[in-house]
């Protein structure tokens, strides 16, 4: 098992890839209008970082229950923050409202071709380092990361199986994949998972089409399994993983019977932006 440590990115997660690619695709006139996005944290930081690098004004709509560390980091990167309730739909609604009012360019968190292409560079780098990889595990929230990774791998000729992983409490992608149509979960249910970066109520339509074409399966893990995986990655791998980034390793640890046989597997650790209090709590828990 190899870990793809996206937690080591400048903003602590893979989200910088898609955000930068999207903003860079705008014309100079479009960038002058400013950009707006909606996110529970990591995409917010990616947009803020990319906007600052490109000299663009950024406004981010975030849920009030977003981790403080992510909200503070987004503000520190120069973005203006607007807060709303926990529902994904509320964030999107507010962002679209402000975009209409002020002319901002929208930078979606996942349901966008440029975002998917940016996240797909994770898959290309996996192939550069492990050309013979035969299993890749990727977290699933809105679906941008696994869409890009799976497309990059399969369209490059790789025969690796691509498996999505998400929390049981927010397993909309698993249900959608098995049912063959997009399933939406309640805000109350998805908000209850520790994996705040995967609290999306439903996957994007464009992402769903990518998943149906390139992804082999989607499995889910429990909250206790996520906590154990966080601890094991930190203590054994010396890599800090937030709950959303630890789901893939949790699948490897506890759900081997659901995974294809493999000789060289890669788990994408999508981020490391975890609240210090939660990190301390997880590390103090018994077991490893």
Which positions are annotated as active-site residues? 15, 270
CA distance 284 to 273: 18
Mark 257-281 as b/e (b = at least 16 C-beta within 10 Å): eebeebeebbbbbbbbbbeeebbee
Minimal CA–CA distance to 6: which of 44, 52, 42? 42
- Encode 130-176 in three state secondary structure: CCCCCEEEEECCCCHHHHHHHHHHHHCCCCCEEEEEEEHHHCHHHHH
Number of H helices, E strands in the chain: 13, 9
| Nearest alpha-carbon partner for 174 in 150, 208, 147, 206 | 208
Beginning with the edge strand found earlier in the chain, give each strand of the sheet holding 105-106 in spatial order. Answer: 80-84, 58-63, 35-38, 105-106
What is the spatial distance between Cα 49 and Cα 78, in angstroms, rounded to a whole number? 8
Give the separation between CA 177 and CA 216, rounded to whole angstroms.
Answer: 10
Please name every residue paired with 162 in a beta bridge, in sequence order, or none if there are none: 136
The H or E element containing residue 18 is helix 15-25
Cβ–Cβ under 8 Å, residues 231 and 242:
no
């Amino acid at each position: 098992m190899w870990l793809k440590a996206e937690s080591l990115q400048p903003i602590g997660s893979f989200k910088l890839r898609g955000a930068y690619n999207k903003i860079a695709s705008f014309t100079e006139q479009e960038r002058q209008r400013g950009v707006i996005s909606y996110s529970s944290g990591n995409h917010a930081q990616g947009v803020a970082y990319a906007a600052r690098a490109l000299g663009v004004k950024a406004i981010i709509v975030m849920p009030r229950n977003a981790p403080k560390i992510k909200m503070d980091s987004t503000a520190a990167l120069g973005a203006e923050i607007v807060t709303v309730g926990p529902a994904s739909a509320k964030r999107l609604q507010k962002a679209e409202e402000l975009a209409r009012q002020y002319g901002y360019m929208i930078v979606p968190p996942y349901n966008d071709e440029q975002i998917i292409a940016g996240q797909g560079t994770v898959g290309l780098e996996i192939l550069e380092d492990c050309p013979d990889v035969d299993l890749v595990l990727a977290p699933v929230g809105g679906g941008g990361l696994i869409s890009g990774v799976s497309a990059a791998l399969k369209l490059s000729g790789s025969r690796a199986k691509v498996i999505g992983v998400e929390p049981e409490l927010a397993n909309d992608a698993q249900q959608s994949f098995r049912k063959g149509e997009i399933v939406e979960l309640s805000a109350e249910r998805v908000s209850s998972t520790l994996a705040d970066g995967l609290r999306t109520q439903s996957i994007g339509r464009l992402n769903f089409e990518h998943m149906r074409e390139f992804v082999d399966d989607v499995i889910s893990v429990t909250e206790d399994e996520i906590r154990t995986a966080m601890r094991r990655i930190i203590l054994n791998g010396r890599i800090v993983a937030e709950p959303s980034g630890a789901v893939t390793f949790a699948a490897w640890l506890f759900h081997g019977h659901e995974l294809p046989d493999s000789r060289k597997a890669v788990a994408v650790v999508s981020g490391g932006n975890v609240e210090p209090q939660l990190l301390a709590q997880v590390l103090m828990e018994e077991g490893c």
